[in-house]
Amino acid sequence: MIVEIIPASGVGGGAPVVLRANQVVIRRDDGTPISLAAVYGSEGSEAVSCVGCKDFLTLLRNLGIHTTVIVDRLKLPKPPPGAVLVAGPDYKESD
Average pLDDT for 48-60: 89
DSSP state of 93: -
Break the chain into its structural domains and give their ranges.
Answer: 23-71
Q: What is the pLDDT of residues 59-71, one digit of tens each?
A: 899 888 888 777 7
Q: How confident is the model at residue 93 (pLDDT cuts 50, 70, 90)?
A: low
pLDDT of 63 reads: 87
The rounded Cα 19 to chain-centroid distance in angstroms is 20
Task: Report percent pLDDT > 70 for the chain.
Answer: 86
Residue 23 three-state SS: strand
pLDDT of 33 reads: 92
Which residue, among 53, 55, 57, 54, has the nearest Cα to 69 in the 3D structure?
57
